[in-house]
Amino acid sequence: MTELQTARRRHTLRRNAVALAFLAPSLLAFSAFLLFPVVWVVRQSFLAGGVLGPARWVGLENWTQALSDPTLTRSLRNTVVYTAMVVPVTLVLALGLALLLRRVRRGGVVVRTVVYLPSLAPVVLAALIWVFMVQPDFGLLNVVNRALGIAPLNLLGDERLALPTIAGLDVWRGFGFWAILLLAALLAVPPELYQAAALDGASPARRFWHVTLPSIRPVLAVAALLAVVLSMQVFDSVYILTNGGPSGSTRTAVFYIYTSVFETGNPGYGAVLSLILLVCIVALTLAMAQIARRVGRAGA
């Protein structure tokens, strides 16, 4: 080999070694605690048992059981319904607040901080606060009801109202956070666009529809996507507020996964459920991306 070729080889080796040294710790953690678990889940979905004794191979048994499991269908339905309640309401409120905050100058920082507080609270904390709020005897909600002359409600004990109540928690937690995000997007719209529209004689409503919305569409789309993905994974609030009841009306997908592993003791089944949930989320995400693209093309 020529002097040049040996030099080249040594150089490339060295370059790779340096890069590896920088990458190694993060890559190690990533592989061990993220990649490997994913592979593990797929493998586990074909096994049964394993919590107390050794696991045994059961082939597709877990899968067939899952696909005909009414509880799974119910929990997926609960989750989707929940998401459908939370995301649109949160984003609409957030957008409204963001539009209002756009012109606020004095005390803007205070308002932004106050409004952001609910998102800061750990979900557990917020859930506890919320339990307190809807408490039949002295919860704030029922205090207001009493003041208005309505009978106090036991929201969390009511099969039909429990899920919307948890949804309410998420809306309360989320609207401030998304509002701040959307506010940043609104502030990034170049004012010339509005000025041009005003000169063209567009009313405020039309300016909103034709200038504001299209300009923030990318951010709005990502926000919606993120909100949906997060909503589909709701767990903490269910655990604290209702523990899946009453009568399984608030049993969401992740909650079902949790109980099937840690209460029923069948991790293989839990693995299958997780994968099914993953597929649902990905499908939903793709569907939303498609819709966003189509709306974008129609509007643009």
Partner 1 sequence: MRRAAVALFCLVALAPFLYVLSTSLKQTRVLFDYPPDWIPNDPYGGNYTKLLTDYPFVRWVFNTLLVAGVVTAVKLCIDSMAAYALTRMRFAGRRVVLGAMVATIMIPPALLIIPLFFIVRDAGLLDTYWALILPALANPVGVLILRAFIQAVPEELEHAARVDNANAWQVYRHVILPAIRPGLVVVASYVFLVQYVDFVWPLVATQSDSKLLVSTGLATLKPRTINVDWGLTSAGCVLSMVPITVVFLVFQRQLVGRSLVAGLKG
Partner 2 sequence: MAGVRLSGVTRRYARDEPAAVDAVSLEIADGELFVLLGPSGCGKSTLLKLIGGLEEPDEGEIHIGERLVNYVSPGRRDVAMVFQSYALYPHMTARENIRFPLKMRKVARAEADDAVERAAGVLDLGALLHRKVDALSGGQRQRVAVARAIVRDPAVLLMDEPLSNLDALLRMQTREELLRVHRSVPGTIVYVTHDQVEAMTMGDRIGVMDRGRLVQVATPLEVYGRPANRFVAGFVGTPPMSFVDGELTPEGGFRAEGIDLALPRELARAALRGGEDREGWSLGVRPEAVQVTSLNGGPPAGWTVEAVEHLGADSIVGLRHGRSFLRSRLGFGATVTPGSAVGVWLPAEGIHLFDAHGRNVLA
For partner 2, the binding residues in 6-35 under the rule CB under 8 A are 7-8, 10-11
Q: Which does 160 bind (CB under 5 to 8 A by kind): partner 2, partner 1, none?
A: none
* Of 204, 223, 195, residue with least CA distance to 92: 223
Q: Which does 7 bind (CB under 5 to 8 A by kind): partner 1, partner 2, none?
A: partner 2
Q: For residues 236 and 255, give the distance between their C-alpha atoms in angstroms, rounded to a whole number.
A: 9
Considering the rule CB under 8 A, would residue 1 count as an interface residue with partner 2? no
Q: Which does 87 bind (CB under 5 to 8 A by kind): partner 1, partner 2, none?
A: none
The stretch among 5-13, 169-177, 201-209, 228-236 that binds partner 2 (CB under 8 A) is: 5-13
- Shortest distance (Å) from residue 289 CB to partner 1: 12
Q: Which does 81 bind (CB under 5 to 8 A by kind): partner 2, partner 1, none?
A: none
Q: Which does 10 bind (CB under 5 to 8 A by kind): partner 1, partner 2, none?
A: partner 2
Q: For residues 83 and 109, give the distance between their C-alpha atoms in angstroms, rounded to a whole number.
A: 30
Which of 73/243 has CB closer to partner 1?
Answer: 243
- Shortest distance (Å) from residue 3 CB to partner 2: 7
- Shortest distance (Å) from residue 19 CB to partner 2: 15
Q: Which does 80 bind (CB under 5 to 8 A by kind): partner 1, partner 2, none?
A: none
Neighbours of 68 (CB within 10 A): 9
- Please count the residues of this chain forming the interface with partner 2, following the rule CB under 8 A: 6
- Shortest distance (Å) from residue 1 CB to partner 2: 13
Torsion, Cα 135 137 139 144, to 10 degrees, reads: 130
Binding partner 2 (rule: CB under 8 A), the pick from 3, 137, 192, 263 is 3
Q: Which does 181 bind (CB under 5 to 8 A by kind): partner 1, partner 2, none?
A: partner 1
Which of 38/84 has CB closer to partner 1?
Answer: 38
- Shortest distance (Å) from residue 26 CB to partner 2: 25
Which of 117/200 has CB closer to partner 1?
Answer: 117
Which residues of the shown chain bind partner 2 in the complex (CB under 8 A)? 3-4, 7-8, 10-11
